[in-house]
Amino acid sequence: MKLSNRLQRIHDQIPEGSRLADIGSDHALLPVAAVRSGKAAGAVAGEVNPGPYEAARKQVSDAGLKERITVRRGDGLDVISAGEVDVITIAGMGGALIASILDRGLSKLDEVKLLILQPNVGEDILRRWLLEHQWVVVAEQLLEEDGKVYEIITAMPQDLSPIANEEVYRARPLEGGVELTSDLLLRMGPYLTDRPTDVFFAKWESEIVKLQSVVQSISKSDQESSRDKAAEVERLIVNLKEVLSCLPKVKL
C-alpha cells in the first residue's frame, strides 16, 4: 500500500510507538501504514459517514490489523476517550471544521502530545484556535499534489513545546520597512514564511486574485458595512503583496 505524498508527510510526523487517533480516517490508509511502519503501536480510525466507515473496517481487516487498529463510527473526537491516545491526526477538512472538532473534544486533549492537522482551507482559523488554546505550532509543510496545494500543521501543547507562541508569532521586519505582523504570520504561516517556496508564492498569488474578486463583488453594494469590508480586504491585499515582494524565494 502506497500513501499519497500528502498522507506520507503526515505519517512521517508521527513519533515512533505512538497511540494514534486518525479522525475522518476515510479508508484508514494512514492508521494501517502507521502501525505497519511502527510509527503507531496501536490506532483508532474514526469516521462519521457509513460508507467510509465500512471501507475503513475492510481495509483494517484485509491488512490483518484488527487487533491493533480499532475502527469506530462517531463524530470527531467522540470516538476516543480521554487518555486513550497521545497523537491525533485530522486531514482533508476545512480549518474551521478541524477547529470545531478540537473545540468540542477539548476534554480529550489533556494527554495528547501532538496534533498533526491538514486543513484544505481556513488555515488561519485553525492557527488562531491553536494559539487561543495554548497549542504551539512547531512545524509546517506546504506541498502541491494533483493540482492542489496542502498545508500540514503540527502542534504541541505549550508545556511540551521547545518554543513559545510569543516567539512563533513575533512580528518580523522585512526589507523596505515592511513588517510581517503576527496577524499575517497567523494567516500565511510562521514557518512557511521563513522558507517560502515557489508553491508558497503561487498559493498566495492565487489567494490575492480571489480577494480581488471579493472586493469587486462587495463594492457593488451601497451599504456602509460593505464599503468598510471592501476597504479592509483591500488593505489585506496591499499587505500580502508587500510581504510577497520582500520574501526571498527558496529553491528546493
- What's the confidence (pLDDT) of residue 163? 97
For the cut 80, the answer to whether the pLDDT of residue 10 exceeds it is yes
- What's the confidence (pLDDT) of residue 117? 98
Q: Report the DSSP beta bridge partners of residue 64.
A: none
Question: In the chain, where are the structural domains located?
Answer: 5-167, 172-246
Q: How distant is the alpha carbon of residue 65 from its chain centre?
A: 28
For the cut 80, the answer to whether the pLDDT of residue 220 exceeds it is no
For the cut 80, the answer to whether the pLDDT of residue 158 exceeds it is yes
Per-residue pLDDT band for 148 (boundaries 50, 70, 90) equals very high
CATH dotted code for 172-246: 1.10.287.1890
- What's the confidence (pLDDT) of residue 84? 97
The tens digit of pLDDT for each residue in 160-213 reads 999 999 999 999 999 888 999 999 999 999 999 999 999 999 999 999 999 999
- What's the confidence (pLDDT) of residue 131? 98
- Answer for the pair 89, 112: CB distance below 8 angstroms, yes or no: no
Show the cell assigned to 36.
505497519
CATH dotted code for 5-167: 3.40.50.150
- Find the range with the poorest average confidence among 62-66, 98-102, 142-146, 226-230: 226-230
- What's the confidence (pLDDT) of residue 192? 97
Beta strands in the chain (DSSP E): 18-23, 40-47, 69-73, 87-93, 114-119, 135-145, 148-157, 172-173, 179-180
The tens digit of pLDDT for each residue in 19-53 reads 999 999 999 999 999 999 999 999 999 999 999 99
Task: Tell me what the pLDDT averaged over the chain comes to.
Answer: 95
- Answer for the pair 87, 117: CB distance below 8 angstroms, yes or no: no
User: Which residues are within 8 A (CB) of 126 and not within 5 positions of it... i.e. 6 or more apart?
Assistant: 95, 96, 98, 99, 117, 119, 153
Q: For a pLDDT cut of 70, what percent of the chain falls above it?
A: 99
User: Which residues are within 8 A (CB) of 214 and not within 5 positions of it... i.e. 6 or more apart?
Assistant: 233
**CA neighbours within 13 Å on the CB side: how many for 28?**
34
